[in-house]
Structure 1
Amino acid sequence: MSFQAYLDAVEEKTGLTPRELVDLAHGRGFDASTKAGPILAWLADDYGLGRGHGMAMVHVITKGPTIGTTHVGGTGTHRDASDTLWLDGRATRPQ
Structure 2
Amino acid sequence: MSFQAYLDTIETKTGLTPRQLLAQATDRGFGSATKATPIIQWLKEEHGLGRGHAMAMVHVITKGTQISDKHVGSGTVHADASNTLWLDGKATNPNAAK
1:17 match: 17
Secondary structure class of the residue paired with 1:22: helix
- Aligned residue pairs total 95
**Cα root mean square deviation, aligned:** 0.6
Deviation per CA, 1:44-71: give whole Å up to 9, x if none: 0000000000000000011111101110
Runs of 4+ residues deviating >3 angstroms: none
Structure 2 residue runs of 5 or longer lacking an equivalent are none
1:32 partner amino acid: S
Report the Cα distance in structure 1 between the residues aligned to 2:74 and 2:23, rounded to whole angstroms. Answer: 31
Once the two structures are aligned, what percentage of the paired residues are identical? Answer: 64
Report the Cα distance in structure 2 between the residues aligned to 1:93 and 1:33, rounded to whole angstroms. Answer: 28
TM-score (norm 1): 0.98
Report the Cα distance in structure 2 between the residues aligned to 1:82 and 1:92, rounded to whole angstroms. Answer: 15
